[in-house]
Chain A
Protein backbone atom coordinates (compact mmCIF):
# COMPACT_ATOMS: atom_id res chain seq x y z
CA UNK A 1 0.00 0.00 0.00
CA UNK A 2 2.83 2.35 0.88
CA UNK A 3 4.51 1.93 -2.50
CA UNK A 4 1.36 2.70 -4.45
CA UNK A 5 0.66 5.64 -2.21
CA UNK A 6 3.94 7.43 -2.72
CA UNK A 7 3.88 6.74 -6.40
CA UNK A 8 0.51 8.37 -6.86
CA UNK A 9 1.38 11.27 -4.59
CA UNK A 10 4.69 11.84 -6.32
CA UNK A 11 3.00 12.18 -9.64
CA UNK A 12 0.56 14.65 -8.22
CA UNK A 13 3.33 16.77 -6.82
CA UNK A 14 5.27 16.86 -10.07
CA UNK A 15 2.21 18.06 -11.92
CA UNK A 16 1.05 20.72 -9.54
CA UNK A 17 4.20 21.68 -7.71
CA UNK A 18 2.39 22.22 -4.40
CA UNK A 19 4.05 19.94 -1.86
CA UNK A 20 2.20 21.50 1.11
CA UNK A 21 -1.19 20.30 -0.12
CA UNK A 22 -0.07 16.72 -0.54
CA UNK A 23 -1.37 15.40 2.74
CA UNK A 24 -4.84 16.77 2.45
CA UNK A 25 -5.41 15.53 -1.04
CA UNK A 26 -7.78 12.63 -1.51
CA UNK A 27 -6.22 9.78 -3.42
CA UNK A 28 -8.91 9.21 -5.97
CA UNK A 29 -7.09 7.09 -8.49
CA UNK A 30 -5.56 4.72 -5.95
CA UNK A 31 -5.27 1.25 -7.41
CA UNK A 32 -3.69 -1.75 -5.73
CA UNK A 33 -2.97 -4.80 -7.82
CA UNK A 34 -4.68 -7.61 -5.97
CA UNK A 35 -3.96 -10.32 -8.50
CA UNK A 36 -1.12 -12.12 -6.65
CA UNK A 37 -3.09 -11.95 -3.43
CA UNK A 38 -6.14 -13.47 -5.03
CA UNK A 39 -3.98 -16.07 -6.76
CA UNK A 40 -2.51 -17.26 -3.51
CA UNK A 41 -5.85 -17.12 -1.74
CA UNK A 42 -7.46 -19.33 -4.33
CA UNK A 43 -4.54 -21.68 -4.37
CA UNK A 44 -4.82 -22.18 -0.63
CA UNK A 45 -8.58 -22.41 -0.88
CA UNK A 46 -8.45 -25.21 -3.40
CA UNK A 47 -5.76 -26.97 -1.39
CA UNK A 48 -7.77 -26.96 1.80
CA UNK A 49 -10.96 -27.85 0.00
CA UNK A 50 -9.43 -30.96 -1.48
CA UNK A 51 -7.57 -32.10 1.59
CA UNK A 52 -10.33 -31.82 4.18
CA UNK A 53 -12.50 -34.79 4.84
CA UNK A 54 -15.91 -33.84 6.02
CA UNK A 55 -16.91 -37.18 7.45
CA UNK A 56 -15.16 -37.69 10.73
CA UNK A 57 -15.42 -41.21 12.05
CA UNK A 58 -17.78 -41.80 14.91
CA UNK A 59 -17.70 -44.41 17.58
CA UNK A 60 -19.89 -47.10 19.05
CA UNK A 61 -19.23 -47.74 22.71
CA UNK A 62 -18.83 -51.27 23.95
CA UNK A 63 -18.52 -52.66 27.41
CA UNK A 64 -17.56 -56.23 27.98
CA UNK A 65 -17.68 -58.03 31.32
CA UNK A 66 -14.21 -58.50 32.80
CA UNK A 67 -14.65 -62.18 33.50
CA UNK A 68 -16.90 -64.78 32.05
CA UNK A 69 -18.27 -66.17 35.26
CA UNK A 70 -21.17 -68.50 35.10
CA UNK A 71 -24.13 -66.47 36.14
CA UNK A 72 -27.37 -68.30 36.76
CA UNK A 73 -30.20 -66.73 34.88
CA UNK A 74 -33.79 -67.72 34.38
CA UNK A 75 -34.43 -69.29 31.04
CA UNK A 76 -37.50 -67.13 30.54
CA UNK A 77 -35.38 -64.00 30.63
CA UNK A 78 -33.06 -65.08 27.90
CA UNK A 79 -33.42 -63.89 24.37
CA UNK A 80 -30.86 -65.37 22.02
CA UNK A 81 -29.89 -63.89 18.70
CA UNK A 82 -27.68 -65.98 16.50
CA UNK A 83 -25.94 -64.72 13.41
CA UNK A 84 -24.97 -67.39 10.96
CA UNK A 85 -21.94 -67.33 8.70
CA UNK A 86 -23.97 -66.09 5.74
CA UNK A 87 -25.22 -63.10 7.74
CA UNK A 88 -28.71 -64.41 8.50
CA UNK A 89 -30.08 -63.68 11.95
CA UNK A 90 -32.05 -66.17 13.99
CA UNK A 91 -33.81 -65.52 17.26
CA UNK A 92 -35.27 -67.59 20.01
CA UNK A 93 -36.61 -66.72 23.42
CA UNK A 94 -35.54 -69.10 26.15
CA UNK A 95 -34.86 -72.47 24.56
CA UNK A 96 -37.48 -72.34 21.86
CA UNK A 97 -36.70 -73.37 18.33
CA UNK A 98 -34.77 -70.61 16.54
CA UNK A 99 -36.55 -68.64 13.87
CA UNK A 100 -35.25 -66.59 11.01
CA UNK A 101 -35.66 -62.84 11.22
CA UNK A 102 -34.90 -60.27 8.58
CA UNK A 103 -32.59 -57.40 9.44
CA UNK A 104 -35.31 -54.82 8.97
CA UNK A 105 -37.68 -56.63 11.34
CA UNK A 106 -35.08 -57.06 14.03
CA UNK A 107 -35.78 -53.69 15.61
CA UNK A 108 -39.50 -54.32 15.98
CA UNK A 109 -38.88 -57.81 17.34
CA UNK A 110 -36.45 -56.62 19.98
CA UNK A 111 -38.70 -53.75 20.94
CA UNK A 112 -41.67 -56.03 21.56
CA UNK A 113 -39.61 -58.60 23.43
CA UNK A 114 -38.14 -55.94 25.69
CA UNK A 115 -41.48 -54.32 26.33
CA UNK A 116 -42.97 -57.60 27.42
CA UNK A 117 -40.32 -58.44 29.98
CA UNK A 118 -39.29 -54.89 30.87
CA UNK A 119 -35.75 -54.69 32.14
CA UNK A 120 -35.47 -58.37 32.86
CA UNK A 121 -34.77 -59.43 29.32
CA UNK A 122 -31.19 -60.45 28.64
CA UNK A 123 -30.15 -60.26 25.03
CA UNK A 124 -27.53 -62.82 24.17
CA UNK A 125 -25.79 -62.28 20.88
CA UNK A 126 -23.95 -65.19 19.36
CA UNK A 127 -22.00 -64.54 16.23
CA UNK A 128 -20.35 -67.08 13.99
CA UNK A 129 -16.65 -66.61 13.33
CA UNK A 130 -17.23 -66.21 9.62
CA UNK A 131 -19.69 -63.35 9.82
CA UNK A 132 -18.44 -60.18 8.17
CA UNK A 133 -17.74 -57.31 10.54
CA UNK A 134 -20.11 -55.19 8.50
CA UNK A 135 -23.01 -57.43 9.48
CA UNK A 136 -21.93 -57.45 13.13
CA UNK A 137 -22.05 -53.67 13.20
CA UNK A 138 -25.42 -53.64 11.49
CA UNK A 139 -26.88 -55.95 14.12
CA UNK A 140 -25.32 -53.96 16.96
CA UNK A 141 -26.60 -50.79 15.36
CA UNK A 142 -30.13 -52.13 15.21
CA UNK A 143 -29.90 -53.16 18.85
CA UNK A 144 -28.67 -49.68 19.75
CA UNK A 145 -31.51 -48.09 17.83
CA UNK A 146 -34.01 -50.13 19.84
CA UNK A 147 -32.69 -48.49 22.99
CA UNK A 148 -33.63 -45.13 21.55
CA UNK A 149 -37.24 -46.28 21.33
CA UNK A 150 -37.27 -48.17 24.60
CA UNK A 151 -36.10 -45.37 26.87
CA UNK A 152 -39.10 -43.10 26.17
CA UNK A 153 -41.46 -46.09 26.26
CA UNK A 154 -40.20 -47.03 29.69
CA UNK A 155 -40.18 -43.45 30.85
CA UNK A 156 -43.95 -43.35 30.51
CA UNK A 157 -44.07 -45.94 33.25
CA UNK A 158 -41.38 -44.21 35.28
CA UNK A 159 -39.02 -47.07 34.75
CA UNK A 160 -35.37 -46.37 34.17
CA UNK A 161 -34.00 -48.47 31.37
CA UNK A 162 -31.34 -50.97 32.30
CA UNK A 163 -29.77 -52.68 29.41
CA UNK A 164 -28.78 -56.29 29.72
CA UNK A 165 -26.82 -57.45 26.80
CA UNK A 166 -23.96 -59.81 26.19
CA UNK A 167 -21.96 -61.33 23.40
CA UNK A 168 -21.54 -65.04 23.98
CA UNK A 169 -19.44 -67.53 22.08
CA UNK A 170 -21.17 -69.58 19.42
CA UNK A 171 -21.00 -73.24 20.33
CA UNK A 172 -21.23 -76.33 18.16
CA UNK A 173 -24.69 -76.98 19.55
CA UNK A 174 -25.82 -73.51 18.54
CA UNK A 175 -24.53 -74.04 15.06
CA UNK A 176 -26.29 -77.37 14.73
CA UNK A 177 -29.59 -75.80 15.68
CA UNK A 178 -29.55 -73.12 13.04
CA UNK A 179 -27.86 -75.08 10.31
CA UNK A 180 -30.93 -76.59 8.64
CA UNK A 181 -32.92 -73.34 8.70
Chain B
Protein backbone atom coordinates (compact mmCIF):
# COMPACT_ATOMS: atom_id res chain seq x y z
CA UNK B 1 0.00 0.00 0.00
CA UNK B 2 2.75 2.39 0.89
CA UNK B 3 4.26 1.82 -2.51
CA UNK B 4 1.21 3.18 -4.26
CA UNK B 5 0.96 6.25 -2.11
CA UNK B 6 4.62 7.17 -2.43
CA UNK B 7 5.38 10.30 -4.35
CA UNK B 8 7.91 9.83 -7.13
CA UNK B 9 10.09 12.74 -6.21
CA UNK B 10 13.14 12.00 -8.31
CA UNK B 11 11.27 11.22 -11.50
CA UNK B 12 13.27 12.45 -14.47
CA UNK B 13 12.37 11.97 -18.11
CA UNK B 14 14.98 12.73 -20.71
CA UNK B 15 13.28 15.15 -23.07
CA UNK B 16 16.32 15.80 -25.23
CA UNK B 17 15.38 13.61 -28.23
CA UNK B 18 11.84 14.90 -28.14
CA UNK B 19 12.98 18.49 -28.18
CA UNK B 20 15.50 17.68 -30.92
CA UNK B 21 12.84 16.31 -33.18
CA UNK B 22 10.42 19.09 -32.33
CA UNK B 23 12.94 21.72 -33.31
CA UNK B 24 13.89 19.85 -36.44
CA UNK B 25 10.26 19.79 -37.55
CA UNK B 26 9.81 23.38 -36.49
CA UNK B 27 12.68 24.60 -38.64
CA UNK B 28 11.48 22.47 -41.53
CA UNK B 29 7.98 23.89 -41.46
CA UNK B 30 9.25 27.41 -40.90
CA UNK B 31 11.37 27.29 -44.03
CA UNK B 32 8.84 25.59 -46.22
CA UNK B 33 5.94 27.77 -45.13
CA UNK B 34 4.70 30.10 -47.78
CA UNK B 35 2.17 32.64 -46.77
CA UNK B 36 -0.82 33.83 -48.64
CA UNK B 37 -0.23 36.96 -50.61
CA UNK B 38 -2.04 40.10 -49.57
CA UNK B 39 -4.29 39.87 -52.57
CA UNK B 40 -5.28 36.35 -51.69
CA UNK B 41 -6.22 37.21 -48.15
CA UNK B 42 -8.41 39.94 -49.57
CA UNK B 43 -10.31 37.70 -51.94
CA UNK B 44 -13.64 36.33 -50.90
CA UNK B 45 -13.86 33.36 -53.20
CA UNK B 46 -11.95 30.15 -53.44
CA UNK B 47 -10.76 28.59 -56.66
CA UNK B 48 -11.07 24.88 -57.08
CA UNK B 49 -8.38 24.13 -59.58
CA UNK B 50 -8.66 21.30 -62.06
CA UNK B 51 -6.30 18.38 -61.61
CA UNK B 52 -3.63 17.58 -64.16
CA UNK B 53 -0.93 14.94 -64.15
CA UNK B 54 2.30 15.72 -62.38
CA UNK B 55 4.47 18.28 -64.04
CA UNK B 56 7.79 19.64 -62.88
CA UNK B 57 7.01 23.22 -63.80
CA UNK B 58 6.01 25.40 -60.90
CA UNK B 59 4.25 28.69 -61.10
CA UNK B 60 6.70 31.59 -61.51
CA UNK B 61 6.45 34.22 -58.80
CA UNK B 62 8.32 37.12 -60.38
CA UNK B 63 6.50 39.62 -62.60
CA UNK B 64 3.46 37.47 -62.68
CA UNK B 65 0.03 38.66 -63.66
CA UNK B 66 -2.77 36.28 -62.77
CA UNK B 67 -6.17 36.33 -64.34
CA UNK B 68 -8.52 34.53 -62.03
CA UNK B 69 -11.76 33.19 -63.38
CA UNK B 70 -13.78 32.38 -60.34
CA UNK B 71 -17.25 31.56 -59.23
CA UNK B 72 -17.70 34.19 -56.58
CA UNK B 73 -21.10 33.43 -55.17
CA UNK B 74 -23.23 30.44 -54.27
CA UNK B 75 -24.77 30.55 -57.70
CA UNK B 76 -22.69 28.46 -60.10
CA UNK B 77 -23.57 30.67 -63.03
CA UNK B 78 -21.94 33.75 -61.49
CA UNK B 79 -18.48 33.81 -62.93
CA UNK B 80 -16.19 36.82 -62.80
CA UNK B 81 -12.72 37.77 -63.87
CA UNK B 82 -10.18 39.04 -61.38
CA UNK B 83 -6.81 40.51 -62.16
CA UNK B 84 -3.86 40.36 -59.84
CA UNK B 85 -0.16 41.21 -60.12
CA UNK B 86 2.77 40.16 -57.96
CA UNK B 87 5.17 42.97 -58.82
CA UNK B 88 4.16 45.91 -56.65
CA UNK B 89 5.75 48.61 -58.77
CA UNK B 90 4.11 47.38 -61.93
CA UNK B 91 0.85 46.89 -60.16
CA UNK B 92 0.66 50.50 -59.04
CA UNK B 93 1.50 51.74 -62.52
CA UNK B 94 -0.86 49.41 -64.32
CA UNK B 95 -3.80 49.95 -62.02
CA UNK B 96 -3.45 53.71 -62.27
CA UNK B 97 -2.93 53.92 -66.01
CA UNK B 98 -5.44 51.40 -67.25
CA UNK B 99 -8.50 53.13 -68.61
CA UNK B 100 -12.08 52.32 -67.81
CA UNK B 101 -11.52 50.91 -64.37
CA UNK B 102 -13.71 52.01 -61.52
CA UNK B 103 -11.78 54.32 -59.18
CA UNK B 104 -12.79 52.34 -56.12
CA UNK B 105 -10.94 49.35 -57.58
CA UNK B 106 -7.65 51.06 -58.25
CA UNK B 107 -6.29 50.89 -54.71
CA UNK B 108 -7.05 47.21 -54.33
CA UNK B 109 -4.69 44.31 -54.74
CA UNK B 110 -7.10 42.47 -56.94
CA UNK B 111 -9.33 44.04 -59.53
CA UNK B 112 -12.69 42.65 -60.44
CA UNK B 113 -12.67 43.10 -64.19
CA UNK B 114 -14.91 42.90 -67.17
CA UNK B 115 -13.57 41.65 -70.48
CA UNK B 116 -12.92 45.22 -71.62
CA UNK B 117 -11.08 45.96 -68.37
CA UNK B 118 -9.09 42.81 -68.81
CA UNK B 119 -7.97 43.79 -72.26
CA UNK B 120 -6.86 47.16 -70.96
CA UNK B 121 -5.04 45.62 -68.01
CA UNK B 122 -3.23 42.99 -70.05
CA UNK B 123 -2.15 45.62 -72.58
CA UNK B 124 -1.01 48.02 -69.88
CA UNK B 125 0.91 45.27 -68.08
CA UNK B 126 2.80 44.51 -71.25
CA UNK B 127 3.63 48.17 -71.75
CA UNK B 128 4.84 48.64 -68.16
CA UNK B 129 6.85 45.48 -68.08
CA UNK B 130 7.29 43.44 -71.26
CA UNK B 131 8.63 40.57 -69.16
CA UNK B 132 5.32 40.09 -67.41
CA UNK B 133 4.26 36.46 -67.40
CA UNK B 134 0.61 35.63 -67.52
CA UNK B 135 -1.26 32.88 -65.79
CA UNK B 136 -4.88 31.94 -65.94
CA UNK B 137 -6.16 30.51 -62.72
CA UNK B 138 -9.64 29.26 -63.37
CA UNK B 139 -12.14 27.33 -61.35
CA UNK B 140 -12.78 23.86 -62.70
CA UNK B 141 -16.53 24.41 -62.79
CA UNK B 142 -16.52 27.38 -65.16
CA UNK B 143 -17.67 27.01 -68.72
CA UNK B 144 -15.11 27.01 -71.52
CA UNK B 145 -16.61 30.19 -72.92
CA UNK B 146 -15.02 32.23 -70.13
CA UNK B 147 -11.61 30.82 -70.85
CA UNK B 148 -12.05 31.23 -74.57
CA UNK B 149 -13.03 34.90 -74.21
CA UNK B 150 -10.04 35.41 -71.96
CA UNK B 151 -7.69 33.79 -74.47
CA UNK B 152 -9.14 35.96 -77.20
CA UNK B 153 -8.26 39.03 -75.12
CA UNK B 154 -4.72 37.75 -74.64
CA UNK B 155 -4.42 37.12 -78.35
CA UNK B 156 -5.54 40.66 -79.13
CA UNK B 157 -2.93 42.07 -76.79
CA UNK B 158 -0.21 39.76 -78.11
CA UNK B 159 0.23 37.95 -74.84
CA UNK B 160 0.40 34.65 -76.63
CA UNK B 161 2.37 32.63 -74.09
CA UNK B 162 0.68 32.00 -70.81
CA UNK B 163 0.17 29.36 -68.19
CA UNK B 164 -2.86 27.55 -66.97
CA UNK B 165 -2.75 26.92 -63.26
CA UNK B 166 -3.62 23.40 -62.19
CA UNK B 167 -3.27 21.18 -59.18
CA UNK B 168 -1.31 18.01 -59.08
CA UNK B 169 -3.30 14.85 -59.54
CA UNK B 170 -3.05 12.65 -56.47
CA UNK B 171 -1.86 9.07 -56.54
CA UNK B 172 -0.18 9.08 -59.91
**Chain A residues packing against B (C-beta within 8 Å):** 34, 37-38, 41-42, 44-45, 48-49, 51-53, 55-68, 127-134, 136-138, 140-141, 144-145, 167, 169
Total number of B residues with any Cβ neighbor in A under 8 Å = 51
27 contacts between A and B (CB under 8 A): A44-B26, A44-B30, A49-B29, A52-B33, A55-B167, A56-B34, A57-B49, A58-B54, A59-B60, A59-B165, A60-B55, A61-B162, A62-B161, A65-B160, A66-B158, A68-B155, A129-B145, A132-B141, A132-B142, A132-B144, A133-B138, A133-B143, A133-B144, A136-B50, A136-B144, A137-B140, A140-B164
B58 CB–A CB distance under 8 Å = yes
Excluding A48-B29, A128-B144, 19 further A-B contacts by CB distance (< 8 Å) are A38-B15, A41-B26, A48-B26, A52-B32, A57-B58, A57-B165, A59-B165, A60-B55, A61-B162, A65-B160, A66-B155, A68-B155, A130-B143, A133-B139, A133-B140, A133-B142, A134-B141, A136-B147, A137-B50
Does B53 touch A at the CB level, under 8 Å? yes
A57 to B35: give the CA distance in the assembly, Å: 14
B34/A52 in contact, CB under 8 A: yes
Q: Which residues on A sit within 8 Å (CB–CB) of B59?
A: 56-59
B32 and A62 contact, CB distance less than 8 A: no
Q: How many A-B residue pairs have CB under 8 A?
A: 145
* B98 located at the interface, meaning its Cβ lies under 8 Å from any Cβ of chain A in the complex: no
Query: A35 vs B25: C-alpha distance in the bound complex, in angstroms?
Result: 18
- Given contacts A51-B33, A129-B144, is CB(A60)–CB(B26) below 8 Å? no
